Amino acid sequence: MTETAKLSWDDKTLELPMMSPTAGPDVIDIRKLYAQGDVFTYDPGFTSTAACESSITFIDGDKGELMHRGYPIDQLAEKSHYLEVCYLLLYGELPTATQLEDFEARVTNHTMLHEQMTWFFRGFRRDAHPMAIMVGVVGAMSAFYHDSTDISDPWQREVASIRLIAKMPTIAAWAYKYSVGQPFVYPRNDLDYASNFLRMCFAVPAEEYQVNPILARAMDRIFTLHADHEQNASTSTVRLASSSGANPFACIAAGIACLWGPAHGGANQAALEMLREIGSPNRIPEFIEKAKDKDDPFRLMGFGHRVYKNFDPRAKVMKQSADEVLDLLGIENNPTLQVAKELEEIATSDPYFVEKKLYPNVDFYSGIILDAMGFPTSMFTPIFALARTVGWISQWKEQISDPGMKIGRPRQLYNGPTLRDYVDVENR
Ligand code: SDX
């Protein structure tokens, strides 16, 4: 690799240092460009910008590969489980049996919420979207857990990380219970992470609830597939918020707010609603044409990706899991799954999608499984947020542990009015 990149314009020539990653493209270090060249770079969607250095997750968009600390997602989805993946993302290595047992015990012992928070939920209307409740409740955690908000204290950073990972299932489940008018179900320490979440969502005081192990395994796999994904929009939001020194609960609340958008984590809800609107395979061509029409803002939800220009490896695992779960639940000929498979077939052979390298992403099949499990579409993005919390927290920890961390403060290409004097109202 060359040591420097040469940049010339007008009468200027700059030599900018180049940096080599362990995987992915080389980068040109432009940190001194403005000081030495008096110019900015322009990249509003960050399509060509590395905003940080990280060793947590790597995506090869052309090959359709995703790895966490070097381990490929398909192996983790098959052989590992969510809390082990949490440990890997947080600490960088797969845990020994003792380390895993200790980590799972620490998470288990933090699953309850401060009892006063139950009143916080009650301030919402019953028809509030669960994502609105999650943004509010997670942000409010900084008002309940003061003893883990000092980010300069490594111990408080650790406690805040465990609290957030442990309490998100309780918050998401209670947001769901509140929306359906059922009483909150408290977590149980004798259940694994995914089983606890399913029980808190679907148990009622009137009868015993037995967790279906098939659903628990599928739920755990969905959590693993959503755990982290490099510098996506919500992770970048968390990093920018944490660069000001904001407390971890406020930063994660900012990430939840960003994830809610339909172009990002909100796509899983939008994708299932789109598949239901299509309704049957014979209406697919009509929607394909809408998606291709430049004058129509409609896009195929669950399709396309900023980085993947090949199949999203998570979508592949999710598609297999959808087949398994529906089969094991005895749900045959699920019309929505049939439409999804036909749509994938047609879209991925259509020249428009082939040329633009648009493939199904993580959000295309996930809703079919969640729907089969009994979740309303409004709970799809909260489940994504629950699972992504460990990714946000791992990236947050990586950033604030960096002694060279600086507050994120982008510049702009200004095209507004140049300097002019104030005009009194009588003279306008
Ligand atoms: C997630 O970043 C991450 O890693 C996110 C995520 C994670 O784990 O954190 O992977 C999770 O957010 C997955 C993406 C979920 N969103 C959707 O499924 C919504 C539908 N997808 C699109 O909105 C879009 O594909 C994005 C937002 C995902 C990506 O947008 P980009 O990278 O900005 O691409 P683009 O909008 O510039 O599209 C390139 C071209 C455009 O056509 P031209 O202007 O070049 O002619 O492809 C077209 C787009 O119109 N296009 C689509 C399309 N997605 C892109 N056309 C029809 N249907 C689509 N879904």
Does ligand 1 come within 6 angstroms of the Cβ of 88?
no
* Mean pLDDT to the nearest integer, 368-385: 96
CA-based torsion, 20, 21, 25, 27: positive or negative: negative
pLDDT at residue 183 tops 90: yes
Looking at every residue in the chain, the average pLDDT score rounds to: 95
Measured between alpha carbons, how far is 21 from 23 in angstroms, rounded to an integer? Answer: 5
Measured between alpha carbons, how far is 288 from 233 in angstroms, rounded to an integer? Answer: 26
Residue of the CA atom closest to atom 3 of ligand 1: 232
**Residue 14: φ, ψ to 5°:** -120, 145
pLDDT digits (tens, 9 = 90+) for 98-149: 999 999 999 999 999 999 999 999 999 999 999 999 999 999 999 999 888 8
Measured between alpha carbons, how far is 27 from 5 in angstroms, rounded to an integer? Answer: 10
Q: How many CB atoms lie within 10 A of CB 84?
A: 18
Instruction: Read off the amino acid at residue 327.
Output: D
Contact 361, 224 (CB under 8 A): no
- With a CB cutoff of 8 Å and minimum separation 6, the contacts of 393 are 90, 160, 161, 164, 165, 248, 252
Q: Within 13 Å of residue 321, how many CA atoms lie on the same side as its CB? A: 31
Does ligand 1 come within 6 angstroms of the Cβ of 388?
no
Measured between alpha carbons, how far is 78 from 49 in angstroms, rounded to an integer? Answer: 33
Burial of 97 by CB count in 10 Å (0-12 exposed, 13-18 middle, 19+ buried)?
Answer: exposed
Q: Establish whether 305 is a catalytic residue.
A: yes
**pLDDT classification of 1: cutoffs 50, 70, 90:** low
- Angle at Cα 186 formed by Cα 214 and Cα 129, nearest 5°? 80
pLDDT digits (tens, 9 = 90+) for 229-238: 999 999 999 9
Ligand 1 atom with the smallest distance to the CA of 226 is 8
Residue of the CA atom closest to atom 2 of ligand 1: 232
Ligand 1: which of 258, 303, 318, 388 to mutate, most ligand atoms within 8 Å of CB? 303
Residue of the CA atom closest to atom 1 of ligand 1: 264
Catalytic pick from 305, 327, 350, 371? 305
Ligand 1: which of 58, 228, 299 to mutate, most ligand atoms within 8 Å of CB? 299
Q: Establish whether 363 is a catalytic residue.
A: yes
Catalytic pick from 220, 228, 363, 371? 363
Instruction: Read off the amino acid at residue 183.
Output: P
